[in-house]
Homo-oligomer: A and B are copies of this chain.
């Protein structure tokens, strides 16, 4: 990625974006990976999957295995707890950004 500072910024957001998308519709790893790529964010599976696992372990998302064309996919959906934390995180994100946008 372009720059470490911006990379860190993105990584701070990645969990929240997973929750955000999982709140709209079930998501799975490879699809999310592709979408990030489309938006210019390259994150490896070695980074991405452990994040999904951690979010699941923490109870923010829940997986449902599905057999799609003979391939197993794990579709993750947000939980109630995940929704609550997403709401908080959104507020915090807005707060942090608002500060940056104050008069220069």
Spell out A's residues near B (CB within 8 Å).
2-6, 8-13, 15-17, 19-20, 23-24, 58, 60, 85, 88-90, 92-94, 96-97, 99-101, 104
How far, in whole Å, are A8 and B99 apart by their CA atoms in the complex? 17
Contact with A85, one of B3, B90, B94 (Cβ below 8 angstroms): B3
> Which chain B positions have C-beta within 8 A of A3?
85, 88
User: Is there an interface contact between A5 and B85, defined as CB atoms closer than 8 Å?
Assistant: yes
- Given the contacts A85-B3, A88-B3, A9 and B93 also touching, CB distance less than 8 Å: yes
> Which chain B positions have C-beta within 8 A of A88?
2-3, 6
> Which chain B positions have C-beta within 8 A of A10?
12, 92, 96
Contact with A96, one of B5, B9, B99, B101 (Cβ below 8 angstroms): B9
- Given the contacts A3-B85, A85-B3, A9 and B101 also touching, CB distance less than 8 Å: no
Which residue on chain B has the smallest CB distance to residue A82?
B5
> Which chain B positions have C-beta within 8 A of A85?
3, 5-6
